[in-house]
Structure 1
Amino acid sequence: MLIDKYVPSFHFRERHTLEISAQASDVLRAAINYQPDNDPIIRAAIVIREFPNKIIDRIKGNSLPAKRPFSLRNFTLLEHLENREVVFGLAGRFWQADYGQASLQDTEDFVRFNAHGAARLALNFSVERLGNNRTRLATETRVCCLDLEAKRKFTPYWYLIRPVSGLIRQKMLGSIGRTVTVS
């Protein structure tokens, strides 16, 4: 799998799957284009996650325009195998109120990223043809903390967000499944 290429060793992992009645190419295309804007539970989870940063901005008197909510758009496309798999990357200090996201322009930036006290995260979508026009869609998230400081800070954050993250992934898969079975 492509994710093995970018985050072969990891400290935290989450994986979810769903069988869908649709062609693998359609399923993967829908996964790549997925945006959570229409799901009230996902939107609510993101609003709650971003609330501390909004308070900090207000206390600091930050009058900058509101940031776009966190979504798949924040990730960097690392690699795409047509009709099989896609992997996205993110790097930084995710436990910080503002996500602590490092700026990554491309795959090379992700691979070279090695900041003290930070982590790398890979998110993939893969499809497996099952026959009879059925496809298994899988999503996996892996986090590699780059040093002990990052692991110490990320661990409590992971255990706090993990249940919500799992719910978001399941809702995401369900939404993708509905998109391709309707179209």
Structure 2
Amino acid sequence: MPGESGSGLDELLPEWHFRELHRIAVEGAEEDVMRAVYETTWPEAPLARALMAITKADVSAGRRIVPDFLGGMGEVIPSGGTEFLFAGVQSPYDIPRPPGAVSEIIRDCGDPGILKIGMNVRYARGTLTTETRILATDERTRKNFLPYWLLIRFGSGLTRMSMLRAIRRRVRRESGRG
């Protein structure tokens, strides 16, 4: 399945079973937008904060959404100035994580019972996106993950859009446009 052209996810996880992509137009210089991605906090995205609070996530006032929260969900992969890229490996069966860096496990591991997760926040050509890709290493794991994916997808989408709108508001506010 083709991904977003130029995204680090294309290299990290070029194939997937589950995908979520959200985008919003944002006017601003790349460095201003990416600074806002890095600095936006939970209180700036009240809907996202409320939804994540239900999960008992730490959404306290000083926590930044992208580097503190999303970065804590896995390994941050260096990917250039216009993208934050995260990678994670999980098992719904409490299988111990294979040894090695997360990016290496995603690239090399085919052991059954593993979910390979890639996620980004990216700014390109006036559009801010967040994309998540998940690849199960076997059919049993894919089938068992599907109900969970269907359950969380709507709330996850609301959370992502709230986050993107908060970043856009910060860019506008800091540039004097709104």
For normalisation by structure 2, the TM-score amounts to: 0.74
The one-letter code of the counterpart of 1:126 is R
* Deviation per residue, 1:50-102 (Å, 9 max, x gap): 4xxxxxxxxxxxxxxxx8569312221123212x3231112103x68xx9995
Q: For the structure 1 residues 106 and 159, does the alpha-carbon distance in structure 2 shift closer, same or farther, using more than 3 Å as the test? A: closer
Q: For the structure 1 residues 32 and 3, does the alpha-carbon distance in structure 2 shift closer, same or farther, using more than 3 Å as the test? A: farther
The one-letter code of the counterpart of 2:84 is V
Give distance in 2, aligned partners of 1:143 and 1:33.
26
Percent of aligned positions that are identical = 28
Specify which structure has the higher proportion of strand: 1
The corresponding residue for 2:161 is: 170
Q: For the structure 1 residues 38 and 180, does the alpha-carbon distance in structure 2 shift closer, same or farther, using more than 3 Å as the test? A: closer
The corresponding residue for 2:36 is: 30
1:87–1:124 Cα contact (<8 Å) kept: yes
2:77 is the alignment partner of 1:78 = yes
Give distance in 2, aligned partners of 1:174 and 1:166.
12
Runs of 4+ in 1 over 6 A off after TM superposition: none
1:76–1:104 Cα contact (<8 Å) kept: no
1:91–1:101 Cα contact (<8 Å) kept: no
2:24–2:164 Cα contact (<8 Å) kept: yes
2:124 is the alignment partner of 1:128 = yes
Counterparts of residues 135-150 of structure 1 (less than 5 Å): 135-150=126-141
2:48 is the alignment partner of 1:42 = yes
2:157 is the alignment partner of 1:158 = no
1:91–1:113 Cα contact (<8 Å) kept: no
2:20–2:133 Cα contact (<8 Å) kept: yes
Q: For the structure 1 residues 19 and 74, does the alpha-carbon distance in structure 2 shift closer, same or farther, using more than 3 Å as the test? A: same
For normalisation by structure 1, the TM-score amounts to: 0.72
Secondary structure of 1:8's aligned partner: coil
Secondary structure of 1:151's aligned partner: helix
Give distance in 2, aligned partners of 1:37 and 1:104.
36
The corresponding residue for 2:85 is: 87
Instruction: Extract unaligned runs of 5+ from structure 2.
Output: 1-6, 60-67
The one-letter code of the counterpart of 1:91 is V
Q: Once superposed, what is the RMSD of the aligned Cα atoms?
A: 3.0
Give distance in 1, aligned partners of 2:39 and 2:95.
24
The one-letter code of the counterpart of 1:90 is G
Counterparts of residues 92-131 of structure 1 (less than 5 Å): 92-93=90-91, 107-129=103-125
Instruction: Extract unaligned runs of 5+ from structure 1.
Output: 51-66, 130-134
